[in-house]
């Protein structure tokens, strides 16, 4: 009976460790919320919208229109900014720039 009880405890402990190991990466992914801030020169999306952050797809379309580039690669850049928290400049034209920042 003691061996059987020990086996159950070991099984439950193993399951708890596996679940805890899976919860860590999931918690890290929750920080990336699919929203970033777009700055075009002195204008940020907050000057246009009621809040500073916009969806990555919208940010990519804005930047693609201003910079004259394809939306797909810009959306990938926006996703990377959202996950890492880094600030990235999409393009610079003259004295203006388009920049992504995590919200």
pLDDT class for 21, splitting at 50, 70, 90?
very low
The predicted structure's pLDDT at residue 43: 77
pLDDT class for 71, splitting at 50, 70, 90?
very high
Full DSSP string of 5-57: HHHHHHHHHHHHHHHHHHHHHHHHHTT--SEEEEEETTEEHHHHSSSSEEEHH
Highest mean pLDDT among 52-61, 75-84, 89-98: 75-84
The DSSP letter of residue 91 is E
pTM beyond 0.85: no
What does the mean pLDDT of the chain come to? 74
Domain ranges of the chain: 1-30, 35-102
- Measured at the alpha carbon of residue 80, what is the angle toward residues 103 and 91, in degrees to the nearest 5? 85
- The burial of 88, by beta-carbon neighbours within 10 Å (0-12 exposed, 13-18 middle, 19 or more buried), is given as middle
């Amino acid at each position: 009976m003691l061996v059987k009880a020990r086996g159950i405890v070991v099984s439950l402990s193993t399951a708890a460790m596996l679940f805890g190991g899976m919860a860590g990466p999931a918690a890290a992914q929750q920080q990336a919320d699919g929203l970033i801030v777009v700055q075009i020169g002195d204008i940020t999306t907050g000057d246009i919208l009621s809040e500073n952050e916009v969806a990555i797809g919208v940010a990519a379309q804005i930047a693609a229109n201003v910079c004259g580039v394809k939306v797909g690669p810009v959306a990938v850049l926006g996703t990377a900014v959202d996950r890492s928290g880094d600030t990235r400049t999409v393009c610079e034209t003259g004295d203006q720039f388009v920049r992504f920042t995590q919200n």
